[in-house]
């Protein structure tokens, strides 16, 4: 099983996708480009990535499910993965996120989130596949 990594997707590509799907999340906030987790899976040669999001108040009562994964540290909700917001990304539009180059305190947050991602790796890889199998008849190539 391949390792999950954090990536950044070019804002121009995210804006392009947003023309077709208004649910695509904004790519920039507070001078930071949103991190994505990937590759969660591949369908018909398209690699899919899940946006890493800050938790909202509604997320505190939610449990992991087919379209949602909590990233928590000692019952403290740090981040969430909304599987239903995953997007296909060509290699030309994505770069590996180098956490070491990020400023504090954002760097510390990303490091904590990445450790939590590694702890839930199997679930993060499994759930999107189940999600897609439920909603699509496409063949899934398991990475």
pLDDT range class, residue 142, cuts 50, 70, 90: very low
Phi/psi at 123 (5° precision): -65, -40
pTM of the model: 0.85
Count of alpha carbons within 13 Å of 37, Cβ hemisphere only? 30
Q: 68-88, pLDDT tens digit by residue?
A: 999 999 889 999 999 889 999
Report d(CA 137, CA 122) in Å as an integer.
23
Query: What's 5-136's CATH class?
Result: alpha beta
Q: Across the chain, what does the average pLDDT equal?
A: 87
Q: 26-59, pLDDT tens digit by residue?
A: 999 878 899 999 988 887 788 999 999 999 999 9
C-alpha triplet 33, 86, 32: angle, nearest 5° = 5
List Cβ<8 Å contacts ≥24 apart for 72-78. Answer: 72/116, 73/112, 73/116, 78/109, 78/112, 78/113, 78/116
């Amino acid at each position: 099983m391949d390792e999950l990594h954090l990536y950044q997707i070019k804002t121009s590509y995210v804006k392009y996708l947003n023309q077709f799907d208004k649910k695509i999340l904004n790519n920039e906030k507070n001078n930071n480009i949103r991190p994505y987790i990937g590759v969660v899976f591949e369908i018909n040669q398209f690699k899919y990535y899940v946006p890493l999001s800050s938790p909202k108040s509604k997320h505190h009562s939610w449990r992991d499910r087919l379209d949602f994964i909590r990233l928590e540290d000692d019952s403290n909700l740090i981040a969430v993965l909304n599987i239903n917001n995953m997007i296909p990304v060509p290699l030309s539009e994505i770069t590996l996120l180098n956490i070491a180059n990020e400023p504090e305190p954002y760097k510390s947050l990303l490091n904590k989130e990445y450790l939590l991602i590694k702890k839930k790796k199997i679930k993060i890889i499994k759930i999107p596949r189940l999600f897609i199998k439920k909603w699509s008849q496409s063949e899934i190539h398991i990475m």
